[in-house]
Amino acid sequence: MLSVRVPATSANIGAGFDTFGAAFSFYNTFEFDETENGKLTIRGVGKKYQDKNNLVYQAMQKVFREVGYKPRGIYIHEHTDIPVGRGLGSSATCIVAGLVGANILAGSPLSMDRLFELAVKMEGHPDNVAPAFFGGLVASVMTPHKTFYIKEDISPQFSFFACIPDFKLPTVKARAALPKSVPYQDAVYNIGRANMTFLALSRGLPELIGVAVNDKLHEPYRKGLIPHYKEVTHTARRMGALNSYLSGAGPTIMLIAEAKNTAFPDKMGRWMAKNLPEWDFRRLKQTDYGVAVKEVGR
C-alpha cells in the first residue's frame, strides 16, 4: 500500500493573486491500494464523500484515463488534518494525492510535470497545487499549453501564523465577490508588490514585507466576507507582525512575523484566545518539500 502526504498551502500571499503559493508543514495523508474485489472503498471521510464523486478518486481517474490503466478495485484512506474550506489548500491535497497515487499504482507512466499540468487543469489555477507538488514558495504562469513555475525556499527569518475562523468560505463565493475588471493603477500597485514579496520572502528581507505584502486585486473585495478581519489584522500589526494577508480565497488570515520576534506568538495567541476563542490560532512552519510518497504495510 502507498502513503501519499501532501502539505497545506497558502495561496496569493498578498499581491500574488492566483499565481503565488507556499507550502507549510501541516498535512493531509492518503493511503492507496489496488484491490482484487472490483470495488471502490473510501475510508476516513463522511459517507457522502465515499463514492465516485470523491475528489481524490476523480483525480485518480484522470491518470487512469490518460494512460489507459484499468485497476480492479481501489482502496483510499484519507487522514485529513487540514480544515476544509478555509483557504489552506485542502482540495489541492486531494487532487495532488489522487494524481500521484494513481500514477504509481499504474506503474509511474507520467512525469511529475505532466501530473502538475493535470492538477492545474482540475483546480483551475496553479497557486495551491504548485507548492503542494514542489514545496517552498512557488510563482506560476499559466499558458494555454503549459504552466511554468519558479520555486524558491522561504527564508527561515520569517515565521507564519494562521488565524483560522470557525466557518468556511467557499472559493466560488469569494470569487463571486471580485469585480470583472480593476483600475489600471491597482494592477500596477500589485505588479511591484508581487515582485517584491517573492524576493523579500526568499532572500529574507523583513523590512520590505510591510509594504510588499499588500493587495488591491482581491482582498479589498473579500474582507467584508470575513467578520473580525480588521480587528485581527490591525491587532497583529500592533503586536509586532510584519504584515498579514488573506490565505487563498480566505477565510484564514495569515500573519507574517520575524522569527526572532519570539514575543509575538504569545501576545497574539493570548489576544486570539481571549477575543476569538472559537478560531484556531497556530504557527505554520514553511517547508521546502512538497508531496511525499512511501510504501506502507496494510
- Interface residue list for ligand HSE (CB under 6 A): 11-12, 18, 125, 127-128, 171, 174-175, 218, 248-249
- Given the complex with ligand HSE, which of 190 and 235 has the nearer CB atom? 190
Q: Measure the CA angle with vertex 137, ends 135 and 141; round to 5°.
A: 105
In contact, 123 and 129? CB cutoff 8 Å: yes
- Given the complex with ligand HSE, which of 191 and 296 has the nearer CB atom? 191
Q: How far apart are CB 202 and ligand HSE at their closest, in Å?
A: 20
Q: How far apart are CB 143 and ligand HSE at their closest, in Å?
A: 18
- Given the complex with ligand HSE, which of 2 and 11 has the nearer CB atom? 11
C-alpha cell at 195: 515582485
- Given the complex with ligand HSE, which of 125 and 193 has the nearer CB atom? 125
Q: Exposure string (b/e) for 61-77, b if CB count within 10 Å is 16 or more?
A: bbbbebeebebeebbbb
Q: How far apart are CB 205 and ligand HSE at their closest, in Å?
A: 24
- Given the complex with ligand HSE, which of 239 and 255 has the nearer CB atom? 255
Q: What does the alpha-carbon distance between residue 151 and residue 102 come to, in Å, rounded to a whole number?
A: 25
- Given the complex with ligand HSE, which of 149 and 264 has the nearer CB atom? 149
Q: Measure the CA angle with vertex 128, ends 244 and 271; round to 5°.
A: 30
Q: How far apart are CB 89 and ligand HSE at their closest, in Å?
A: 8
In contact, 87 and 47? CB cutoff 8 Å: no
Q: How far apart are CB 47 and ligand HSE at their closest, in Å?
A: 28
In contact, 64 and 71? CB cutoff 8 Å: yes
Q: Is 52 helix (H, G, I), strand (E, B) or coil?
A: coil
Q: How far apart are CB 261 and ligand HSE at their closest, in Å?
A: 28
Q: Measure the CA angle with vertex 277, ends 271 and 280; round to 5°.
A: 90
Q: Exposure string (b/e) for 97-125, b if CB count within 10 Å is 16 or more?
A: bbbbbbbbbbeeebeeeebbbbbbebbeb
